[in-house]
């Protein structure tokens, strides 16, 4: 896609996002907010998976840390929501430093297993540390406070929608810039051929740890939005099932495209939403759809669309 076409498409998307709250019914808007939050989460996974070639099976841990961090802060101190967002993201990023440091000692499937092990460990902590996390009940009644001290309330559905949409757009742009920076270019080289990368004069591991932490920051931001939006945080938000779904969202949308995983998350959750209202066996169908997509649309929705446009010129 030409830069100009991409810019037009971006502006159209922002315009659509701006109009939607007036078009959609209240519960539809609430579904949309959910889609955007998980879109942000899936996008963050793409940084390590698509751009650096590290498949993490434990990305939900950082979503969960963000959710718990923001939930606890909002429940106990009622700061403005952006403060809780920052805290949630930083908590996730801080935990990702040691986890990334250890996990990147391994590569491939061993890296994946280490990230999974750390995530399940964190899940167990959330489950067992009842005094802090409320155990399996989680933390309920997380308030949507204000935009800033003395500022407008975010309890209004439109207001919270704007906040989530702004977070997604800003994050997407930041990640896009990251992938185009000297650092981002180095990540792609690591993905393509790590041995060659090392022989060209740099150790790959520091790059991997840094991008792992950055991905955790954005996953934490998504989780930190999730807690006040849904009003709760529970251990499920850091369970391996969510990590697995994040992988499916990224693959559905298109690995290494950033926008793709956002779309992938939306499609994935919409299919789930629609199917689950007809049948309790919806997982069979989402699984089948996923298999078909991997076989017939390699590169995901966005990857396939790009190839199609390139072929047409």
Partner 1 sequence: MTPVLEARGLGRAFGALLAVNDVSMAVASGELRAVIGPNGAGKTTLFHLISGLLAPTRGRIAFRGEDVTALSAPERCRLGISRTFQITSVFPELSVLENVRIAVQLKAGGNFRLLGGRGLIQASERRARESLAALGLSDRADALAATLPHGDQRLLEIAMAVAQEPELLLLDEPTQGLSPEDTAATVAVIRRIARERQLTILLVEHDMDVVFDLADRVSVLHFGQLIADGTPEEIRANADVQKAYLGGAD
Residue from 28, 196, 284, 307 binding partner 1 (CB under 8 A): 196
Residue among 134, 139, 124 at smallest CA distance from 70: 139
**Least CB distance from residue 202 to partner 1, whole Å?**
5
Does 188 sit near partner 1 (CB under 8 A)? yes
Pick the binder of partner 1 from 185, 287, 291, 307 (CB under 8 A). Answer: 185
Options 131, 201, 278, 313; binder of partner 1; rule CB under 8 A: 201
Q: Are 113 and 57 in contact (CB under 8 A)?
A: yes
CA distance linking residue 4 with residue 132, whole number of Å:
50
Task: Output 5 or 185, the one with its CB closest to partner 1.
Answer: 185
Q: Which stretch binds partner 1 (CB under 8 A): 62-70, 98-106, 196-204, 222-230?
A: 196-204
- Say whether 233 sits in a helix, a strand or coil: strand
CA distance 141 to 178: 36
Residue from 38, 207, 212, 218 touching partner 1 (CB under 8 A): that is 207
* Residues near 61 by beta carbon (within 8 Å), at least 6 away in sequence: 92, 95, 99, 115, 118, 119, 122, 123, 238, 243
Indicate which single residue of 3, 141, 150, 182 sits in contact with partner 1 (rule: CB under 8 A). 182
Min dist CB 100 to partner 1, Å, is 15
Q: Up-side HSE of residue 38: CA atoms within 13 Å toward CB?
A: 25
Q: Which two tokens stand for residue 220?
A: 């934490």
State which residue, 211 or 219, has the beta carbon closest to partner 1: 211
Q: Is 169 in the site for partner 1 (CB under 8 A)?
A: no
Q: Which of 140, 119, 117 has the alpha carbon at shortest distance from 242?
A: 119
Using the contact rule CB under 8 A, the part of the chain among 69-77, 99-107, 187-195, 243-251 near partner 1 is 187-195
Positions touching partner 1 (CB under 8 A) are 174, 177-178, 181-186, 188-189, 192-193, 195-203, 206-207, 210, 214
């Amino acid at each position: 896609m030409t830069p100009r076409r991409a810019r037009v498409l971006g502006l159209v998307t922002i315009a659509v996002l701006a109009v939607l709250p007036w078009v959609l019914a209240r519960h539809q808007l609430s579904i949309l907010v959910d889609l955007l939050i998980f879109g942000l989460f899936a996008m963050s996974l793409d940084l390590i998976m698509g751009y650096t070639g590290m498949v993490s099976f434990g990305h939900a841990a950082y979503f969960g840390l963000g959710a718990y961090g923001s939930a606890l802060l909002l429940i106990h101190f009622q700061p403005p929501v952006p403060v809780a967002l920052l805290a949630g993201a930083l908590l996730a990023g801080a935990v990702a430093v040691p986890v990334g440091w250890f996990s990147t000692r391994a590569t491939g499937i061993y890296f994946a297993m280490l990230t999974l092990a750390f995530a399940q460990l964190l899940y167990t902590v959330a489950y067992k540390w009842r005094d802090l996390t409320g155990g399996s009940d989680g933390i309920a009644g997380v308030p949507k406070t204000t935009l800033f001290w003395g500022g407008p309330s975010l309890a209004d559905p439109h207001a919270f929608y704007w906040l989530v949409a702004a977070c997604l757009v800003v994050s997407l742009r930041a990640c896009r810039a990251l992938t185009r920076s000297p650092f981002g270019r180095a990540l792609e080289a690591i993905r393509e051929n790590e041995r060659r990368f090392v022989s060209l004069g740099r150790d790959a591991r520091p790059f991997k740890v840094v991008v792992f932490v950055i991905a955790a920051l954005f996953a934490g931001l998504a989780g930190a939005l999730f807690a006040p939006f849904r009003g709760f945080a529970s251990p499920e938000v850091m369970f391996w099932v969510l990590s697995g779904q994040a992988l499916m969202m990224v693959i559905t949308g298109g690995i290494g495209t950033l926008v793709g995983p956002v779309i992938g998350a939306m499609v994935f959750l919409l299919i789930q939403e629609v199917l689950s209202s007809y049948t309790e066996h919806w997982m069979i169908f989402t699984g089948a759809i996923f298999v078909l997509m991997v076989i017939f649309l390699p590169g995901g929705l966005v990857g396939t669309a790009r190839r199609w446009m390139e072929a047409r010129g």
